Amino acid sequence: MKFIKKNQIKIDFIYYVWLFFLIAVFGWIWEGFLYFFKDDTYVNRGFLTGPWLPIYGMGAVMLELLFHKWRDRPVMIFVSSMVVCTLLEYLAGWYLELTWGVKWWDYSGMPLNLHGRICFLSSLLFGMGGMLLVWVISPLFYSLYSKIPVRIRIGLGIVVILIFAADASYSAIIPRHGEGITY
């Protein structure tokens, strides 16, 4: 597999905006399917109303920024993704509990968990996901992204940011919680 080197392409801020939303929406879909198969019912698992889970998007942008230079070193990407995403999940869980007084996820029933915020199985999945993101998804996404005219990239990027900001504002006033959403 031929990898695109970061210094061979021009990455702009809007690329990271689109990567954030692509993976945030993927995370929302992923968790929706997981809980649908687990509980036989659909639940919007996010603390926001819209179809996105920002922790997935933040993780994706962080991993791409930090580890793109290791595209030819999958073991480094795997281990580093495990560490970075596990730390991100722990801090996000702690912050959400501190600010809203509820848990949006709880791994207490899982082996090798820490305060129910993280567990070893999730860390392994973060490693695999990070490797897949940096190794396959990001280069593929960039090749598609670069074919979109710049004005459309920027215009739609701004629109999505505004919708996301409105959702975040609304959700700060009327937080989402309840069965299947929070623990």
Is-contact 103 110, C-beta < 8 A? no
Whether the pLDDT of residue 111 is over 80: the answer is: yes
Give the predicted TM-score (pTM) of the model.
Answer: 0.86
- Specify the pLDDT at position 6: 47
- Please give the span between the terminal C-alpha atoms of the chain, in angstroms, as a whole number: 43
- Residue 121 within a domain: yes
- Residue 90 within a domain: yes
- Specify the pLDDT at position 43: 80
The CA-based dihedral angle spanning residues 167, 129, 141, 154, taken in that order and rounded to the nearest 10 degrees: 20
- Specify the pLDDT at position 175: 77
Query: Which residues are 182's β-sheet partners?
Result: 179
CA distance 76 to 134: 11
- Residue 3 within a domain: no
In tens, the pLDDT along 48-69 reads 889 999 999 999 999 999 999 9
- Residue 45 within a domain: yes
The answer for residues whose C-beta is within 8 angstroms of residue 20's C-beta and 6 or more apart is: 54, 57, 58, 60, 61
What range does the domain containing 108 cover? Answer: 10-173
Q: What amino acid occupies position 114?
A: L
CA distance 105 to 59: 17
Task: Give mean pLDDT, residues 27-42.
Answer: 87
Distances (CA, A) of 57 to 23, 73, 112, 151: 5, 23, 25, 23
- Residue 179 within a domain: no
Q: What is the DSSP secondary structure assignment for residue 179, as one 8-state letter?
A: B
Whether the pLDDT of residue 1 is over 50: the answer is: no
The C-alpha angle 60, 116, 91, rounded to 5 degrees, equals 40
| Helix 74-100 × helix 54-67 angle, to 10° | 140
- Residue 145 within a domain: yes
- Residue 178 within a domain: no
Whether the pLDDT of residue 97 is over 70: the answer is: yes
Task: State the total domains in the chain.
Answer: 1
- Residue 1 within a domain: no
Whether the pLDDT of residue 99 is over 80: the answer is: yes
CA distance 54 to 47: 9
